[in-house]
Amino acid sequence: MDKKIILYVLIGIVLLGLLLFTFFPNMIYVLRDSGKTGSDLCDVPEGQTVEQWQEHMSHHPEMYKECLS
């Protein structure tokens, strides 16, 4: 019985993670960039265009204020 509960909890966590990253795909960049500062923070990541990255940064002005000015 306990193994079933643990399995259901793990499946729930995986499904929640998949839903979050499906609805908020740029969240990966926010999590990855949370510790960066200076010019490293403003660099366009691989797989993104300059326009896409500027739009993403505009959604997080408190984090990317150095890049948006």
* pLDDT tens-digit map of 19-60: 988 888 777 777 776 766 666 778 888 888 999 988 988 888
What is the enclosing helix (H) or strand (E) of 7? Answer: helix 2-23
Find the domain containing 48 and state its range: 2-68
The pTM of this model reads 0.49
The residue to which tokens 């797989």 are assigned: 47
What is the distance between the alpha carbons of residues 18 and 21, in angstroms, rounded to a whole number?
A: 5
- pLDDT at res. 33: 65
What is the distance between the alpha carbons of residues 21 and 61, in angstroms, rounded to a whole number?
A: 21
CA atoms within 13 A on the CB side of 2: 0
> Based on the structure, what is the number of domains in the chain?
1
The residue to which tokens 């500027």 are assigned: 54
